[in-house]
Structure 1
């Protein structure tokens, strides 16, 4: 018997309920694999439906339709074996499965044994875990098909599956039983969400697995911003004997990617792959692809952005510019525009700026408290990337609102008595007109809030939080500030020079107040350190104080002030986090209550816990 296989791993950019498009991506992948004489082709987890189908998985009809799609795939599999993920409903419950088809015959269906239930994952809501070693059958068009904990054989090589979370369960993982059953190959079809730094962790898992389980290990992930929030990087990895021997290019703008590997069981000297990881690079790749997919899947015509000249809105403008630059470089101008359903003619020799003027519309909305520096920053950045730029004053709107309230109250509003209201009305006055512009252009309004502001509620609800999508709500302000410096030098965005010279400020108080964000709050680096312990690690206030008192170069008393301020603002502003526009999951944790961290809107606000700090 032969011990060789030409193996392909196909990552696909799927969309829930886009049955035709999803099937086309799978069909195209199969045809390409067959044209290149592939023996075995593996798709990611839930490739037929998309992972982000949410409560559709609970309906009776949805898994049935997925099975109907599988039946359309079976006839395409002549002289090839494919493994493809889908939900299977059996005995009134739903399993997360991988179907194996060989030479136009459904050979068996493997069911996932462990559900992902942490962070962004809620799989126990939809799926039932399969029990180890159990096998039953399911009727598919009158034929009893094996379902459960299965292994398969091709060309004398035995292979099995760990489906995503299965591989992360330590001593309980199915891979150990696969090792005992003497499999040669283990496939891991996954829907593993993107997070900065996660690729390195996956590489370590895949390499460890290949050595520990004594099998060549194949990993394939979904691709793209599938359904709005989670991003999949389309990663494909192969490891043997503890060494990484294949890795693909991540975060592609293509509908699908095929990675082909000539596997020889007798060969032991595959060259080891050295990979490179840079969080700044990962961020721009993931966020730009996420914006591209969100734009085309929402069938919108472009983006509108209130460009203040500050760090947050500027970072989003650069991400849109990178979306255009990277999309054109990978797809070509015509294909890039066709995927966005935009016109494909009338561009100059440098089409990126022409496209930017069509895709991104920006506006600087000044008040009497806005500085000339931020105006120059916004204008120069917009010009440098080719975005359409408007500039108008909202002073008359602010004055009109203020005068109406003054008349009703029978007194003048003053900064001494009405500071917060006078700040917020400026931010809120910007919202109606920028929304109007977005509606006129059939565009997505981009929200500029970052994660650090979400922590402490340093954002005006229905003001700077207004928008369709919040691209940077998943990352902290300290990261944004250093990323902008990196983007200026490493990505060549010279238009960021003014932005990077400014100190972050809301510019809502009179200019002679010299307002800065960090004076209003605390240093952004301190927010990040408290946030990581409080939200990511779920530590108490006293634990955070004891952890940070010797690490941060500030007095113990000031550290206590900052910790108290963080927790009080956190508890007070949960209602804002509930209303922030949908955001991309980009980091190892987030504060989005719909995808990562749930917290009560009403609470006692940590008063007893914060009182403990005074005794230390």
Structure 2
């Protein structure tokens, strides 16, 4: 059996950052050469970044990717390099892996199956290649082989399954590679992060190596490259059904290079850490990295947060603190500060608390309906992590708006008649001043909406939805509530004690009314159960009732009322979801119409389906 030195390199790339993307690729190649690597594989679309969106459709963008490929060629002396890029042939664009060796392109392999579900829209940009077909691409007056092929290195036959190719069962290219005697299959990927997804990949890689009779090498992109999707930078290698290589995920570094001698029969050092199902840790690590990338790639100076003392804003404050802690731990303070463009105004000897104070500014914006409990909760949390903390009242602004409307209408506003308007004006009055603070700080304003609120529109447009980015919009409220308890206990954030003792409330009605979120809506666990069936599984109201009536200990009439309320509020509030700030994809599904679930803004509102629910036998 042939023996060669293999390497996989995960990269944190950015669309249109041609110079930076090329620099990181060349750094990896040089490091691989220093380690005497024979064959180095990069992830899918590693030259451009996966999230280039409609840039892929232009004529100039694939040409510029080929220009970058040309610059890589001189660095491939003595090494084989596999790198991803888009390639246009006439009117069609293909998602390809280029195989480079000794200054030449040996061939270009296009992807055969395109990802078209969930957050993926590859069919908008790319054309799927047909199995077994070959053509050529004109490159520097040479005809480069282009199509479904295998390669050989030092007697080792290898081929590609590009990301989605591997998930297509009996149709996958791997089976044809097996027939062609491939001993190694490379899977360069741009597979988005979702909590728990790493375990699925591990299973895929192990089973693929067994079923295809080949070493199976998986290399994923890294980081929040373009705003919404996060890539965890996973590198996996398996042979004969055994996982032998796995790297640490969600690194703050520009790239990770993992190399080993093929064939490999024992686990690669250090000892493997496989997915343990800890969604809380995965959530913290992913959002911390995503915030870091969003901050540095937008070249903003920090974050501003309207800190209410409740669960949502408190979770975001902790996630920013975790970004600082994990970033400094991974990169060291000087490099961390350089990466976020703060090395000129923050002492490299600063503590994590000192850095957090420079990066995160918070403000408690109280009204006469706010409680001492939430003020103390916000203040103690900010102080515990070192964040800058301001507080002020917006009663004057609320009174000014209210008086103007009362004057126009010729009557006093009252809670019995004008409840929603009187609640919303408080949330909206907070927005202009917190935006002003963000502008002054050249900072990103963090929006505090969660997925449960997005489902039912329990959020004020131009109020608590205001922001540059919404870090928790893709996770449910009940997940956030339990995550905060975990963060207090496991991550050691003692400042969460008061937060975790509070019952979630918008605090927009007078205090004597004792407003709570769950009374306004329904128990969050019930909301999440309905949401998963309705949105993730796309079930009808009647199907949901039949699924949940035995599972939940609720009176049938009450369960029906919750389901009906969910669907009425869902269809009524699509326009709000269309306007939510960009959010990270974190779970197996989300409700962002720009990335996962599209729904008509105007609709019949499930009227017929809810009538069917009413008459369903209990």
TM-score (norm 1): 0.98
Which residue of structure 2 lines up, in the alignment, with residue 600 of structure 1?
A: 600
Which residue of structure 2 lines up, in the alignment, with residue 536 of structure 1?
A: 536
Q: After TM superposition, what 4+ stretches of structure 1 lie above 2 angstroms from structure 2?
A: 267-274, 343-350
CA–CA distance in structure 1, aligned partners of residues 41 and 363 of structure 2: 47
Aligned residues: 613
Which residue of structure 2 lines up, in the alignment, with residue 316 of structure 1?
A: 316
Summarize the alignment of residues 448-527 of structure 1 with structure 2, pairs less than 5 Å apart.
448-527=448-527
Per-residue deviation, 1:261: 1.3
CA–CA distance in structure 1, aligned partners of residues 39 and 262 of structure 2: 11
Summarize the alignment of residues 114-133 of structure 1 with structure 2, pairs less than 5 Å apart.
114-133=113-132
Which residue of structure 2 lines up, in the alignment, with residue 331 of structure 1?
A: 331
In 2 relative to 1, CA 134–225 (structure 1 residues): closer, same or farther, beyond 3 Å? Answer: same
Say whether the 8 Å CA contact 1:304–1:446 is kept in structure 2.
yes
CA–CA distance in structure 1, aligned partners of residues 87 and 118 of structure 2: 24
CA–CA distance in structure 1, aligned partners of residues 437 and 203 of structure 2: 48
Query: SS at the partner of 1:51?
Result: coil
Provide Cα deviations, 1:334-375, integer angstroms capped at 9, x if missing partner.
Answer: 000000110356649661111111100000000000000000
Per-residue deviation, 1:102: 1.1
CA–CA distance in structure 2, aligned partners of residues 498 and 262 of structure 1: 53
Query: SS at the partner of 1:52?
Result: coil
Say whether the 8 Å CA contact 1:348–1:354 is kept in structure 2.
no
Which residue of structure 2 lines up, in the alignment, with residue 245 of structure 1?
A: 244
Which residue of structure 1 lines up, in the alignment, with residue 31 of structure 2?
A: 32
CA–CA distance in structure 2, aligned partners of residues 594 and 270 of structure 1: 41
Per-residue deviation, 1:276: 3.5
- Over the aligned positions, Cα root-mean-square deviation in angstroms equals 1.1
Say whether the 8 Å CA contact 1:196–1:586 is kept in structure 2.
yes
Query: SS at the partner of 2:591?
Result: coil
Gaps of 5+ in 1: none
Query: SS at the partner of 1:147?
Result: strand
Say whether the 8 Å CA contact 1:541–1:563 is kept in structure 2.
yes
Say whether the 8 Å CA contact 2:337–2:348 is kept in structure 1.
no
CA–CA distance in structure 2, aligned partners of residues 580 and 166 of structure 1: 33
Which residue of structure 1 lines up, in the alignment, with residue 561 of structure 2?
A: 561
Which residue of structure 1 lines up, in the alignment, with residue 153 of structure 2?
A: 154
CA–CA distance in structure 2, aligned partners of residues 345 and 195 of structure 1: 35
Say whether the 8 Å CA contact 1:475–1:587 is kept in structure 2.
yes
TM-score (norm 2): 0.98
Summarize the alignment of residues 241-390 of structure 1 with structure 2, pairs less than 5 Å apart.
241-264=240-263, 268-270=265-267, 273=272, 275-277=274-276, 278-344=278-344, 347=347, 351-390=351-390
Gaps of 5+ in 2: none
Summarize the alignment of residues 61-80 of structure 1 with structure 2, pairs less than 5 Å apart.
61-80=60-79
Per-residue deviation, 1:91: 2.1
Per-residue deviation, 1:274: 5.2
CA–CA distance in structure 2, aligned partners of residues 179 and 502 of structure 1: 59
Provide Cα deviations, 1:279-309, integer angstroms capped at 9, x if missing partner.
Answer: 0000000000000000000110000000000
Which residue of structure 2 lines up, in the alignment, with residue 135 of structure 1?
A: 134
Say whether the 8 Å CA contact 1:334–1:344 is kept in structure 2.
no
Which residue of structure 1 lines up, in the alignment, with residue 551 of structure 2?
A: 551
CA–CA distance in structure 2, aligned partners of residues 437 and 268 of structure 1: 58
Which residue of structure 1 lines up, in the alignment, with residue 576 of structure 2?
A: 576
Which residue of structure 2 lines up, in the alignment, with residue 587 of structure 1?
A: 587
Per-residue deviation, 1:553: 1.0
